[in-house]
Structure 1
Amino acid sequence: MALNGKTAVVTGAALGIGKAITEILLQNGAKVTLLDINETAGKTLEEALNKQYGEKRSLFFKCNVQSEEQIKVAFQSTVDTFGGIDIVCNNAGILNEKQWEKTVSVNVVGLIRVSYVALEYMNKLNGGKGGTIINVASVAGLTPVPSCPVYTATKHAVIGFTRAMAAASSASGYGLCFNAVCPSSVKTDLFASVMDNLGQFSHLLYSTQNPAVERAMKCYVDDDPSSTSIRLAHVLQRQLLTRFMEIISCHFSSFKMPALLHKMSIAPKASAAF
C-alpha cells in the first residue's frame, strides 16, 4: 500500500489504536497530524516518530475534540504545513458510564465536529481534493453490550452517522469516502480503565445478547492495537471515493479482509459487510 504524498489527521493518536494507526500510515508514506488531549504522550510520540520516519513527517497538536476552535486550529495548521488533507481518522473516544454525558460529547458530538471541519477542508465543492474519512466505532455498535449502555449507544450513533454521511457525500458529489471500522476489545488504556468506569453496570461485563460477540470480547482480547490499524490501512489501499465501505473488524476467525475488500470493490453505492 502506497500513501506517498498523502496527509492524514488522526484523533486520539497518542496511545493505543490511534498510535498504531499513525505508525501504519507513516510506514506507508503518509504524513500525519496527531491530535490528542494527552500532551505529554503526544509530544513524546511526535519526537519518536520524526526520529524514526524522518523530520517533519508527523505533527502533534494538543486537541480536545469537544473544542471546535482547537480542531480548526489543528486542521488549518496541517494545511499550512503539509499542503492539504487527504485522510481523517476519527479515533478519539472514551468509555465512562459514570460520566455518561462526557462519553456522548466525546464519542458522538466530538466525532461529528471533526467530520464537519474535515468537510470544510476536503469537500470538492469547496475546492478540496476529496479523500477518506474513517470513523472508529466498535463491536458495541453492532450489538447491545449491557455493561456499557451509553457507550453502546454512542457507537451505534457513529455507524449511523457514517452511513448517512456516505450517502450524503455520494448524492452531493463531495468526493469523500466515509468508512466505519468496528474493533472488538483491544488492550489499550481505555480497556484498562473499563472496570472503574462501568459504575452500576460493572456486574454485567462480558454479558451480551450475542454469544459470538461475547466470546470475542471475553476470550479474544487483542494484545496488539496494530491488528486493527492494519485492517484500517487496507481501506485506504482501495478507497472508492463515491462509495461507502463499512469494514467491520471483529477479530472473528472467519473474517477475511482481502475477500471482503473484493466484495466491496464491486458492491453498490450503499453497502455493508458483517
Structure 2
Amino acid sequence: MDLKNKNVIYVGGFGGIGFCSCKCLLEQGVANLGILDVFEDNEKIGTLQALNKAANVFYIKIDLTDVDNIEHAFTAAHDTMGRFDIVVNGSGIMNEHEIERTIKINLLGVIYSTFAALRLMDKSKGGHGGVIVNISSIVGLDAYGAYATYTASKYGVNGFTRALSDPYYYSQTDVSFITICPSTTETAMIASLRMDAVTTFDRMPPLPKLLCNNQSAEECAHSLVTAIKTAKNGSVWILTSGTLREYNYPDI
C-alpha cells in the first residue's frame, strides 16, 4: 500500500511506539492523521504537524473503557476526514494489579474500536475498505508468567484480529486485518515496569529469549509502517531487534 495521501487513525498515538509511528506515517505523505488518545498533547501535535505541513493532524479524546465514547470518537474522526484508509489500535497498559482495567483497555477497547472503525470502512455498507492494524505483543504468541493478565489480553487480540481476517468477510468488506506483535520496546511503559515491577506474583521467572531482544521505539515504528505498506490480510508480524518477520501459526 502506498501511504501517500492516505487517511489514518492512530489510537494511542501519543505513546512511545505510537508517536514514533505517527512520525513515520507523516514522512510517508499521509493526508490526514487523527490521533485518538485519552489526553491531549499539544507539543506532540505541533511536532507532528511540522513534519508534514500539508497534512491535517488533529486530536480527538477517546476513553477505551466507554463504548459510547469510542463510537463518538470514531464518528467525529470520520466526519473530519470523510473516510478511513488505515486504523491502528495501539493503546495498552501493563499493570497486573488492575485486572479489569487491563482487559477493558487492552482487549475490549481494541474490540470496540475495531467494530467502530469497521462500521465506517465496510465496503458492503458504503465504506471504502482499508486496513485495520491491531497491536498485540510477543507475549500474545508465547505466554510469560510474570504478566499473566497482560498476556491473556494480548492472546485475545491475536485471536480476535485473525478471526476477522477470514477471507469470507474480507471479500465483502474489503477491510484487511494485520496483527503486530512487538518484543520488548524501550518506551515509558517499559521504563515504569522496571521501577515498579507490578507483576502477577511477587517474583519473576527468567526472561524468555524473545523478551531479551530489546528495540527502540523508532525501530519498532519503522517496522510497523513497513508492515502496513506490505502485509497481506490475516498476517501476523513479530517486531524484534529492529527487524520484521512474519509469524505462521502451526497447522492443527
1:190 aligns with 2:180: no
C-alpha contact (below 8 Å) 2:178/2:231 kept by paired residues: no
Q: Structure 2 CA distance, aligned partners of 1:77 and 1:93? A: 22
Q: Give the drift of 1:199.
A: 4.2
CA deviation string 1:76-99 (max 9, x = no partner): 222222221011101000001001
Q: Structure 2 CA distance, aligned partners of 1:103 and 1:167? A: 27
2:6 maps to 6
> 1:235 corresponds to which letter in structure 2?
A
C-alpha contact (below 8 Å) 1:216/1:251 kept by paired residues: no
1:226 maps to 218
Q: Percent identity?
A: 28
Farther-moved stretch of structure 1 (5-14 vs 106-115): 5-14
2:173 maps to 174
Q: What TM-score does the superposition give when structure 1 sets the normalisation length?
A: 0.82
The equivalent position to 1:247 in structure 2, one of 232, 237, 241, is 237
Report the CA distance shift for 1:131/1:202 in structure 2 as closer, same or farther (over 3 A). farther
1:215 aligns with 2:209: yes
2:125 maps to 126
Q: Give the drift of 1:47.
A: 2.0
Q: Structure 1 CA distance, aligned partners of 2:167 and 2:34? A: 26
1:37 maps to 38
C-alpha contact (below 8 Å) 1:245/1:272 kept by paired residues: no
SS at match of 1:147: helix
Q: Structure 2 CA distance, aligned partners of 1:87 and 1:69? A: 22
Q: Give the drift of 1:59.
A: 0.7
> 1:96 corresponds to which letter in structure 2?
N
> 2:15 corresponds to which letter in structure 1?
L
Report the CA distance shift for 1:128/1:191 in structure 2 as closer, same or farther (over 3 A). same
Q: Structure 1 CA distance, aligned partners of 2:162 and 2:200? A: 32
> 2:214 corresponds to which letter in structure 1?
V
C-alpha contact (below 8 Å) 1:247/1:272 kept by paired residues: no
C-alpha contact (below 8 Å) 2:26/2:55 kept by paired residues: no
Report the CA distance shift for 1:20/1:192 in structure 2 as closer, same or farther (over 3 A). same
Matches within 5 A, 1:55-70: 57-70=56-69
C-alpha contact (below 8 Å) 2:36/2:60 kept by paired residues: yes
Report the CA distance shift for 1:153/1:168 in structure 2 as closer, same or farther (over 3 A). farther
1:19 aligns with 2:19: yes
1:203 maps to 203
Structure 1: segments with no counterpart, 5+ residues: 209-213, 265-270
SS at match of 1:13: coil
Q: Give the drift of 1:202.
A: 4.6
Q: What TM-score does the superposition give when structure 2 sets the normalisation length?
A: 0.89
> 2:6 corresponds to which letter in structure 1?
K
SS at match of 1:173: helix
Q: Structure 2 CA distance, aligned partners of 1:37 and 1:168? A: 34
Matches within 5 A, 1:251-262: 251=241, 257=245
* Structure with more strand by fraction: 2
Q: Give the drift of 1:106.
A: 0.4
1:235 maps to 227
C-alpha contact (below 8 Å) 2:148/2:200 kept by paired residues: no
1:211 maps to none
C-alpha contact (below 8 Å) 2:10/2:88 kept by paired residues: yes
SS at match of 1:161: helix
SS at match of 2:36: strand
CA deviation string 1:187-233 (max 9, x = no partner): 1121122242524525215x35xxxxx23323x322x2121221121
